[in-house]
Structure 1
Amino acid sequence: MEQLRIGVIGVGRFGRLHMKVLNQIAGCTVTAIADVDDDLLRETSKEFNIEAVFNDAFELIRHPDVDVIDIVSNEDTHGPFAIEAIKQGKHVFIEKPIATKHEEALEIEKLAKEHNVQVMVGNISRFSQPYVAMKRSLAKGLLGSIAMIRAKRNFSKDWFDHFGHRVHPVYESGIHDIDLILWYAESACRQVFAVERNISGYQYPDLFSAILTFENGIVAALDSAWLYPKGGPVNLVETLDLAGTIDADIEIIGNTGTANFKLAHSGYSLWTDAKVYHPELTFWTTEHDGIGGAIRAELNHFILQVHKKEASPIAPLRDSVEASRIADAIVLSAKENRPVAL
């Protein structure tokens, strides 16, 4: 198997996590990195023995010795970087969201077809086994016909210091559940109504709530708040320590059954004098042979699809484009206080 040469844009904590996982996967190796932080670039270059280092991501994208671009930078850069990478004939992995503008998402989809490259968005929950098990329950008909999907995803208030002036939470937290709802509903969204509140005084709201109605009759309720206190149970402490809480629930209600998963309480707990921990054990666990979990399954799947020259059947690009359309509609609906028809 030929070695795909990967250039990673954004080498913060999550970018370096990607690098560690990619270097475990057969058929690829990270050969170039880009970031606007000189110190971080220098440290990462030394840690991973990377010689091709760039301050300008577009220079990395145009580098002739890179086959694949892995975009792990700020959300509003995803669209421009992906568009340029595809124009350069590179395969592209984009950490969610695909973009923060639906027009950019549509352009990515169009260009990917024109240039015959593989583009996949990092909707990691599609590779996390509890969410996969829910999908299997639907495929087996265990829940009957879906009537409703409820989803929430709440985060530590401290984290919003980094995101409150950076991105609307619908593109950061809400996009996970929009993607899951689309995956489960298997139908086009026809109308969105949303509300939001700004409590902390940042550029973007701390919370939003939305009702989505689908062509096949399914109703979905989605909300997210970045207001959890410091005293909440710490659950992101495996491999990537973020010292905070993600409290995510999703429930599918059918006419013959229901399915529910609660992310915040995995069944494993760790009590110390300082904190109570409920370590999350599906996304990026440290396993016997390196970093595993959903992040490894996701990136391994993408690399395999690039080698096979086939689009992902698990995370098709069309779904991410549709999710961006819904996200934009949620922002518009909350801003104008009205339902938005799609």
Structure 2
Amino acid sequence: MTGPTVVIAGVGRFGDLHARVWAEAGARITGLVDPDTARLAEVARTRRVDQTATELAPLLDRVRPDVVVIAADEAAHTGLALTALEAGSHVFVEKPLALSAADAWRIAETAAAHQRQVVVGHISRFTAPMTRMRAGVERGAVGRLCALRLRRDFSRAWFLSFGDRVHPVWESCIHDIDLAISFARTRVRRVVAMQSGAAGDAAPSVVSALLEFDNGVIATVESAWLVPATAPGTLDDGPLALDGAIVGEAEVLGLDGVLKQRLVSDSLVEWTRAGVQVPDLSLWPEEDGVVGGALRREVGYALAVFTGRRQPDVMPVEEACWGVEAAEAVVESLRTGAPVELPVRR
């Protein structure tokens, strides 16, 4: 039995990793799309893909894939997703789904009209600790959910190299906005946020936001691109090596208990000539020659949804739209310095 056919739209480092993981999960990569012709040729050669194009629509006319995986720049997500859905393909799109609530809901509505599925790549939902924490909340381990505290800090060097490529709320805070939604399972109704340009004035390098949900749950979401170069590396090797660190914590508070998780764990520390490493083993570790971890689970989930073997229960597109709404409100609150009330969606 052959697996679903997949086109990858956007073949930068993460798009190339997606090509590998989807193939390892049993899909057939039948086409690649990227405006950078040199990069496109390189990845096509490495992944042994014959069909390539600089635009998505002409390639879809030729290969008619079951799935389009979108790993292009954030601003391109909406156009690529709509093109894929209207051509009859399911869509996996890296976070965020879109850069505006209007575009996010347009994608969701187009998917429904064409009876296609959309899975958004909020990888943090698929890490083992978050899966366990969410299951604990759902079975009542902490009693009534009251509050969430979420923090995610990045290396300052990353801010200096690509921190202004897109507003940092869409790059970093969107992860924890989505996690908060995955626990609260409802919409955000009010947001207030503050920022600092401590690492440089190209974009806010420090963001702190308070979210109030429709069910009364309160969440704090914080992000600072200030981790120094002397911090232990967390992603320095493996299938997607990044020189730097992601450091953070997640806390779930209920009337009957608290669940806590740290993104950097001292369960494995490596002291070598290269320095001190605290390698992340949750996102995309290489295991027995294949990519595992949250990325493999995320892709496996998406394939099961696209082939009708399970319902879109872990990452419903509606919740991705709620996340875009909330992130857009955070950006607006940062701009105005005032609280933002989200409109009720009918």
The answer for the alignment partner of 2:28 in structure 1 is 29
The runs of 5 or more residues in structure 2 that have no matched partner are none
CA shift at 1:191, angstroms? 0.5
CA shift at 1:62, angstroms? 4.1
8 Å CA contact 1:238–1:280 kept in 2: the answer is no
For 1:166 and 1:243, the matched residues in 2 are separated by 18
CA shift at 1:286, angstroms? 0.8
The runs of 5 or more residues in structure 1 that have no matched partner are none
What CA deviation, in whole Å up to 9, does each residue of 1:54-96 have, x standing for no partner? 1223433444432211000111111111111111111100011
SS in 1 for 2:307: helix
For 2:229 and 2:61, the matched residues in 1 are separated by 43
Q: How do 1:99-114 residues align onto structure 2 when only pairs under 5 Å count? A: 99-114=98-113
8 Å CA contact 2:199–2:225 kept in 1: the answer is no
Percent identity (aligned): 34
The answer for the alignment partner of 1:269 in structure 2 is 269
For 2:54 and 2:167, the matched residues in 1 are separated by 26
8 Å CA contact 1:118–1:309 kept in 2: the answer is no
CA shift at 1:164, angstroms? 2.6
What CA deviation, in whole Å up to 9, does each residue of 1:128-159 have, x standing for no partner? 11001101211221111122100011101111
8 Å CA contact 1:283–1:295 kept in 2: the answer is yes
Q: 1:29 to 1:298 in 2, by over 3 A?
A: same
TM-score between both structures, scaled by the size of structure 1: 0.95
Q: 1:176 to 1:257 in 2, by over 3 A?
A: same
Q: How many residues align?
A: 341
TM-score between both structures, scaled by the size of structure 2: 0.94
The answer for the alignment partner of 2:333 in structure 1 is 333
1:189 partner amino acid:
V
2:275 partner amino acid:
K
For 1:227 and 1:60, the matched residues in 2 are separated by 42
Q: 1:17 to 1:179 in 2, by over 3 A?
A: same
The answer for the alignment partner of 2:194 in structure 1 is 195
What CA deviation, in whole Å up to 9, does each residue of 1:94-151 have, x standing for no partner? 0111011111101001100000011100111111110011012112211111221000
SS in 2 for 1:295: helix
Q: 1:309 to 1:118 in 2, by over 3 A?
A: farther
8 Å CA contact 2:56–2:83 kept in 1: the answer is no
The answer for the alignment partner of 1:205 in structure 2 is 204
What CA deviation, in whole Å up to 9, does each residue of 1:225-283 have, x standing for no partner? 11211111101133321011000211011111100100112511101133110000111
What CA deviation, in whole Å up to 9, does each residue of 1:8-51 have, x standing for no partner? 0111111111111111112x211111112222112111111111
SS in 2 for 1:19: helix
CA shift at 1:2, angstroms? 4.4
Q: 1:161 to 1:62 in 2, by over 3 A?
A: farther
CA shift at 1:309, angstroms? 7.0
8 Å CA contact 2:30–2:63 kept in 1: the answer is no
What CA deviation, in whole Å up to 9, does each residue of 1:193-223 have, x standing for no partner? 0111223445421121100111222111111
SS in 1 for 2:24: coil
The answer for the alignment partner of 1:5 in structure 2 is 5
For 1:325 and 1:200, the matched residues in 2 are separated by 27
Q: 1:238 to 1:49 in 2, by over 3 A?
A: closer
Q: 1:63 to 1:225 in 2, by over 3 A?
A: farther
Q: How do 1:214-229 residues align onto structure 2 when only pairs under 5 Å count? A: 214-229=213-228
The answer for the alignment partner of 1:154 in structure 2 is 153
Q: How do 1:1-342 residues align onto structure 2 when only pairs under 5 Å count? A: 1-26=1-26, 28-236=27-235, 237-288=237-288, 290-308=290-308, 311-342=311-342
For 2:48 and 2:201, the matched residues in 1 are separated by 39
Q: 1:266 to 1:99 in 2, by over 3 A?
A: farther
Superposed CA RMSD in Å reads 1.6
SS in 2 for 1:7: strand
SS in 2 for 1:333: helix
For 1:206 and 1:70, the matched residues in 2 are separated by 30
SS in 2 for 1:227: strand
For 1:141 and 1:102, the matched residues in 2 are separated by 32
SS in 2 for 1:211: strand
Q: 1:57 to 1:65 in 2, by over 3 A?
A: closer
1:173 partner amino acid:
S
Greater shift in the superposed pair: 30-39 or 99-108:
30-39
